[in-house]
Amino acid sequence: MATAAAISLSLPPQIRRLPASIAAPLRSISSLHFDSLRSNFSSLRNPNFRVSASSMRIGTPEKISTASFLDRRESGFIHFVKYHGLGNDFILVDNRDSKEPRITPEQAVKLCDRNFGIGADGVIFVMPGVNGTDYTMRIFNSDGSEPEMCGNGVRCFARFIAELENLHGKQSFTVHTGAGLIVPEIQEDGKVKVDMGEPILKASDVPTKLPANKDQAVVKSDLNVDGVIWNVTCVSMGNPHCVTFGNKENQNLTVDELNLAAIGPKFEHHEMFPARTNTEFVEVFSHEHLKMRVWERGAGATLACGTGACAVVVAAVLEGRAGRSCTVELPGGPLDIEWKEEDNHVYMTGPAEVVFYGSVAV
Listed in sequence order, the residues at least 6 apart from 19 whose beta carbon sits closer than 8 Å to its beta carbon are none
- Are 72 and 65 in contact by the 8 Å Cβ rule? The answer is no
Catalytic residue among 150, 156, 234, 326: 150
3-state class percentages of the chain: helix first, strand second, coil last, to nearest 5:
20, 40, 40
Q: Is 299 helix (H, G, I), strand (E, B) or coil?
A: coil
Q: State the DSSP code for 211.
A: P
Closest C-alpha among 248, 228, 243 to residue 284? 243
**What element of type H or E holds 346?**
strand 346-350
208 vs 204: CA distance, rounded Å:
6
- Are 108 and 140 in contact by the 8 Å Cβ rule? The answer is yes
Distances (CA, A) of 52 to 22, 43, 92, 129: 29, 11, 20, 35
Check if 234 is active-site: no
- Are 85 and 325 in contact by the 8 Å Cβ rule? The answer is no
Burial of 21 (0-12, 13-18, 19+ CB in 10 A): exposed
252 vs 311: CA distance, rounded Å:
18
- Are 247 and 311 in contact by the 8 Å Cβ rule? The answer is no
Check if 150 is active-site: yes
Task: Sort strands 221-225 and 192-195 into parallel, antiparallel or unpaired.
Answer: unpaired
Catalytic residue among 112, 234, 242, 305: 305
**229: how many CB neighbours lie within 10 A of its CB?**
12
Closest C-alpha among 161, 112, 163 to residue 141? 112
Catalytic residues: 150, 305
